[in-house]
Amino acid sequence: MNLFSFNYLSFQKCTLAQKYALALYIQTQTVFKKHSFFLLFFGLLIGLVLLGFAMTPYDPVETNFLNRLSSPSWKNWFGTDQMGRDIATRILYGAGWSVGLALIVSTAGAVIGMIIGLLAGSLGRFVDGFCMRMTDSFFAFPELIAAIVITGVLGPNTVNMVIALILVSWMRFARLVRALTGDIKQRDYVVQAKLNKLPYYLILSRHYLPNIILSVVVIWTSSWSRTILSISGLSFLGFGVQPPQAEWGAMLLDGKPYMLTAPHVMIFPGIAVLVTVLILNLMGDHFRDHLQSSEK
Amino acid sequence: MTLNNFMRVALIKAISLILVLLGVSFLTFLLYYYAPGDKALAIANARYIGEGSASVELVEQIRLETGIDRPFFVQFYYWALDLIQLDFGVSLISQEPVSEIFISQLQETMELAVLSLLIGMSLALPLSLISVWKPKSFIDRFAIALSSIGAAIPSYWLGLIFIFVFAAKLQWVPAYGTGSLAHLILPASTLGLWVLTSQTRLIRSFLLEASAAPFLEALKIRGVGPKELFCRHIVRHAFVPFITMLGLDLAYLLEGAVIVEVVFARGGIGSLLVHSVMSRDFPIIQCIVIFSAVTYVTINSAVEIFQWFINPVSR
Amino acid sequence: MLEVNNLSVRLQDQTLLENINFKLSRGETLCIIGESGSGKTTLLRALLGLVPLSLGSVMLDRHVYQSPEQSQIGLPSTQIVMQDPIAALNPRQKIKRSIAESLYKSSLQAVEIDHAVLQALRDVELPESLENRYPAQISLGQAQRICIARAIVAKPDILFFDEPLSALDAIIQKQIAQLLDRLKKQNDLSYIFVTHDLGFARHYADRILLLNSGKVEEYQDVNLFFQGPESIYGQELLEAAYILGSLPQKKTEEFRVA
C-alpha cells in the first residue's frame, strides 16, 4: 500500500496492522506540520552534537602544552585554550553540563513547585496561606544572589550549585500552579467529582493535573533556559562547576586571563550559551503560542 | 467607605509583609546556622591572621562570647533582635562595622544602576513605541530580534566582549576599576543593554495588549484618528503595567549588577557579596541578602498599593 | 421521600436561607423559582452538601442529616446537572471517563461500568461513538445530554438541575426538555429544578417553591400558583411576566410527549 496516495476505500481494505501504521503516520505528520520548524531545528542540533561526540578525536580535559592557545584552524575548529585543549570538543561536552544540569534543576523545580502549588490551591485556606507566604519569602531573594550565597556557604561545587538553583527556581512554578488550581477548584467538573465522592488523589490526577500541565511546560522551558544562564554565570564567578571540567562558564573563567592575546578562548563558549538559550527561548515562545491558540 | 476599605487592604498587606519579612530573616538565619564548618574557629582565624591556627582556648572563648553553642531559637531570637535595630555586627575579616562597609559600597552600585537604567530606558521607550506604532517595519523587526537575542546573551560574556573591543582594541575607555565617568561607561552599557532588551520586550507586549483592547473599536467608530488613538489611549493604557514591572525590575537590577561588577573588577554590593561569600564573612553576607530581599518586598508592596489607587478593578 | 424541615443557612453573619420547608414525593417535579440572589442556588448547594446547613434537617428516605458536619457528606442517590455543560465537563478527559466517574462509589466491575456508560449514552439519544471524544469536539446540546447521562448513569432517586436549559437554543431546549420528561417516566425519577423561566416552570413542575431573599414566599401546587398566587410577591412576579410577554397566558399541552 502506498502511504502517500491513499483514499478512503483503500483504507477500508487495509489489514489492522496497516491501519495502525497509517494512523501513526498521519499522527506524526500532523505533529510534524504543527511543529516542523522546531523539530527540524532541534533534530539538526542534537544530530550535530552527537556527530561531534562521535567525530572528535580530542579529550575535553586532557592537556597538550605543545599546542597552547592556537587560533582556530581546520585541526582545531574553535582553536585551543591555555592548556592546549580543543575548544570545540570542550564546548560539545559543556553542552552536557549546562543543558543537562539545567534540565535537572528546572524539572526538580517544576515538580516541587507543582506539589506546593497544588496543595495550596486545592486544600483549605490555612494550607494556602502558609504555602504562599513561604513562596513569597523565597521569592523575595533575587535568584542569582540567593544562588551565590547558598552555593558559597555550602561549598562551591556542582552538587551544591544544583541544590541552590533548585531552591531558587521552584517558586515560579508554585505561583503559577497555585493560580491555575485555585481557578480549577471553582469549576463545575471538580464540584461534580467531589459530589461523586472521588478521593482527593483522583481529583488531583484526573482534574487538576491534566489541566495545568501545559502551562507548566511553558514555564518549564523558560526556566530551563534561565537556568542555563545561571549555571554558566555561577561557574564564571567560581561557584559552580569547577575547572578543569568543560562547563561553558568555567571555560570563560579559565580563559579570561588570556582573552587579549587569544580572544577565541572566550568568544566561542559565550556563543554556545547564547545559541542554546536562544533556541530554548524560541521553543518556549512556540509552546506558549500553541497553548494560547489551543485555548481559544 | 473607600478609605475604610483601603485601610483594610493596607492592614492585610502589612500583615503579610511582616510574615514575609519574618520568613526572609528566618531563611537567612537558617542558612547561616546550617553552614558547614566550625564558625568559632573561623572567627578566631579571621581575627588573628598571621598567627597560624588559633589556640583552643581562644576558640572556646569566642564560642562563649558569641553564643554559637546555644539552641537554634535562642540564637535566632538574639540575632533577630539585633536585626530590628539594624545592627549587623562587624565584619569578620576587617573588624569594621558592616553597615559602614555596606553603605560605602552601595553608592557605587547605585551609580551603576542609575546610569544603566538611564541608558536602557532612553533607548527602550522610543524603540518599543515605534515598533508598535509601525508594525512589521524595520524598527519593529529590529526590536523583536533585539529582545529575543538580548534575553539569551550572558551578561558576563557581553562584558568581556566590550572590554576586548572598546578597551583593548579601540582603547576608547579604561577597562577595569572605578573612579571617573569613563570607568562607568562600559559596565553601565553592559547592564543598560540588559535593561534595554528586557524593557523593550515588556513595553512592546504591554502596548500590543493595550492596542487589542475592545474599547478601541468603539473609539475608532467614533472617528478618533489613529494618531490620537495611539498617543492618548493605547500609551495611557499600557502605562499601569509598565510602572508595575518597572518597580519589580529595579529590584532585579541589583542581580545584574553582581556579575557586571565582578567582570569589570568594580567595587559595589555585587563584588562585596562575592568576596564575602568566598571568605565566608557571614555578617556582610547576611546584610546584603536581607537588604536585597527587603528591597524587593518593599517595592512589591509599594507597587501593589500603587495599583490599588490606579486600577479600580483591583479594589 | 425528600423532606426538608426548617432549613437555614448562615455564612459568617449573613443569613442566606431561612426556615425552608418542603416535601417531595417519588416521581414529582419541584421548581424552585425566584430572582437572582434569592437563594435558589444556595438551597440546591445546601441540599447537595456543598454548603453546610446551620439549622434544620434534610431527610431522604431513612437518611437524615441535621448538623453541619453531617451535611458535608451529602445525600446519597442524588445527582446534579449544571447550567453550563461545557464548564461541567473536564476538557482533558474523555466523555467516557466523565460519565463513568458517577459510578465511582458503585460496586460495579470495569466491564459493567463500560456497559452502563454506553447504555446511558443510548438513553440520552447520543451515538455511542461519542464516548471517545473530548468536550471540545461536541456541541453544546450534546454536552448537556452528556451531563444528563452522567447524572442518570448512577441511577439516582432525585435529580437536581441548576438552570439546565438557559445556555441552550430554543430548539435544543425543547429537545432536552422532552428527553428529561421521557427519562423521568422511564426511571421513576424526581426532579428539582432551579430556574427563573416561569414558562418552563408552568409546563414542567408539579409544585412551585417561590423564594425571595432567602425565605419561602409561596409553596404551592403549580396550577393553583399560576391561577392566582397567594403572596403579593408572587402576584407581582406573574404580572410582570405577563406584561413582558415572557409567559404566555395559556398553558400549551403539546409540549409534553406522551
Q: What is the mean pLDDT of each run of 10 residues along chain B (315 residues)?
A: 69 81 84 76 68 70 72 80 79 80 87 89 89 84 87 88 84 71 84 89 85 78 77 77 75 82 86 87 86 85 77 58
| Cβ–Cβ under 8 Å, residues C187 and C199 | no
pLDDT averaged over every residue in chain A: 80
Q: Please list, in sequence order, all residues whose beta carbon lies within 8 angstroms of the beta carbon of residue B66, skipping any fewer than 6 positions away.
A: B39, B40, B43
On the 0-12 / 13-18 / 19+ scale of CB atoms within 10 A, B49 is exposed
Residues A218-231, mean pLDDT to the nearest whole number: 89
**Of B1 and C62, which is predicted with more confidence?**
C62
Please tell me the distance from the alpha carbon of residue B83 to that of residue B26, in angstroms, as a whole number. 11
Chain B residues in contact with A175 (beta carbon < 8 A): none
C-alpha R_g of chain C: 18
**Of B157 and A242, which is predicted with more confidence?**
B157
Contact assignment for C97 to A206 by CB distance below 8 Å: yes
Q: How far is B279 from chain A (nearest CA, A)?
A: 9
Q: Do chains C and B touch (3 or more CB pairs under 8 A)?
A: no
C-alpha cell at A53: 561526540
CB contacts < 8 A (A, C): 48
Please tell me the distance from the alpha carbon of residue C100 to that of residue C113, in angstroms, as a whole number. 7
Please tell me the distance from the alpha carbon of residue B56 to that of residue A96, in angstroms, as a whole number. 47
Chain A residues in contact with B26 (beta carbon < 8 A): 137
Contact assignment for A198 to C92 by CB distance below 8 Å: no
Does the predicted model carry a pTM greater than 0.95? no
Chain A residues in contact with B280 (beta carbon < 8 A): 152-153
Interface of B with A in 245-274 (CB under 8 A): 251-252, 254-255, 258-259, 262, 273-274
**Confidence band of A112 (pLDDT split at 50, 70, 90):** very high
Please tell me the distance from the alpha carbon of residue A247 to that of residue B159, in angstroms, as a whole number. 19
At which residue does the C-alpha cell 532588551 appear?
B197
Q: In what order do the strands lie in the sheet with C14-24?
A: C14-24, C2-11, C55-60, C63-65
Beta strands at C207-212 and C190-194: parallel, antiparallel or unpaired: unpaired
Chains that touch C (3 or more CB pairs under 8 A): A
Residues C212-231, mean pLDDT to the nearest whole number: 86
Q: List, in sequence order, the alpha helices (H) in chain A.
A: 8-13, 16-55, 87-95, 101-122, 125-139, 143-154, 158-185, 188-195, 200-203, 209-237, 248-255, 264-295
Contact assignment for A207 to C93 by CB distance below 8 Å: yes
Residues A269-296, mean pLDDT to the nearest whole number: 80
- B275 in contact with A, Cβ within 8 Å: no
| Cβ–Cβ under 8 Å, residues A78 and A72 | yes
Q: Which of A9-23, A177-191, B167-181 has the highest average model confidence (pLDDT)?
A: A177-191
C-alpha cell at C237: 412576579
Tell me: the pLDDT tens digits for C113-162?
Answer: 889 999 999 988 889 888 888 888 888 889 999 999 999 998 888 899 98
Q: How far is A149 from chain C (nearest CA, A)?
A: 42
Please tell me the distance from the alpha carbon of residue B224 to that of residue B232, in angstroms, as a whole number. 10
Q: A189, A203, A204, A206: best mutation site toward chain C, by most C Cβ within 10 Å? A: A189
Beta strands at C190-194 and C29-33: parallel, antiparallel or unpaired: parallel
**Residue B312, CB half-sphere, CA atoms under 13 Å: how many?**
1
Q: Do chains A and C touch (3 or more CB pairs under 8 A)?
A: yes
- Estimate the crossing angle of helix B181-211 against helix B138-150, to 10 degrees: 120
- C97 in contact with A, Cβ within 8 Å: yes
Interface of C with A in 25-84 (CB under 8 A): 48-50, 74, 79-80, 82, 84
Q: Please list, in sequence order, all residues whose beta carbon lies within 8 angstroms of the beta carbon of residue C195, skipping any fewer than 6 positions away.
A: C31, C32, C33, C161, C163, C165, C166, C201
Q: Is the ipTM of this complex over 0.85?
A: no
At which residue does the C-alpha cell 524560541 appear?
A282
Chain B residues in contact with A278 (beta carbon < 8 A): 148-149, 152
Please tell me the distance from the alpha carbon of residue C226 to that of residue C242, in angstroms, as a whole number. 11
pLDDT averaged over every residue in chain C: 84
C-alpha cell at C51: 454548603
Q: How confident is the model at residue C254, as a pLDDT?
A: 46
At which residue does the C-alpha cell 497509517 appear?
A22
**Of C72 and B298, which is predicted with more confidence?**
B298
CB contacts < 8 A (A, B): 131
> Among partner residues C82, C102, C105, which is closest to A188 by beta-carbon distance?
C82
pLDDT at A10 over 60: no
Contact assignment for C150 to A206 by CB distance below 8 Å: no
Tell me: the pLDDT tens digits for C22-58?
Answer: 888 888 899 998 888 888 888 888 888 888 888 888 8
Q: How confident is the model at residue A227, as a pLDDT?
A: 92
| Cβ–Cβ under 8 Å, residues C8 and C54 | yes
